[in-house]
Amino acid sequence: SHLHWSQSGSADDSDSLAVEISSYVLLAVLTTDSVSTADLGFANRIVSWLVKQQNAYGGFSSTQVIEK
C-alpha cells in the first residue's frame, strides 16, 4: 500500500503539494540517527507513492509559484 500526505482544504487540485510534503516526511524518516527496519518499510510505502507521481520524464509537477 502507498502512503502520502496532503494539505486539507487545499484549493490546489494537483498532487504537487502532496509530493512536496511527502518528500519532507520521507527525508525526516531516513535522516534519523538510527533507521530501523520498520522505518525502512514505512519509507518504502512513501517512495512507492512518490514514484507513481512522476511524469513521463521522471520529474514531478512544480510546487513553485512563478510570477509574470
User: Which triple of cell numbers denotes residue 10?
Assistant: 487545499
Question: What is the reported pLDDT for 16?
Answer: 84
pTM of the model: 0.75
Range of the domain at 49: 16-53
In a domain, 48, yes or no: yes
Question: What is the reported pLDDT for 2?
Answer: 72
In a domain, 5, yes or no: no
Domain count, the chain: 1
Return the amino acid letter for 13: D
68 pLDDT higher than 60: yes
In a domain, 60, yes or no: no
In a domain, 59, yes or no: no
In a domain, 41, yes or no: yes
Segment 6-65, tens digit of pLDDT: 766 655 545 788 898 999 999 999 999 999 999 999 999 999 999 999 988 888 877 666
Residue 22 makes CB contacts below 8 A (sequence gap 6+) with 3, 4, 5, 46, 49, 50
Q: Which residue has the higher pLDDT, 11 or 67?
A: 67
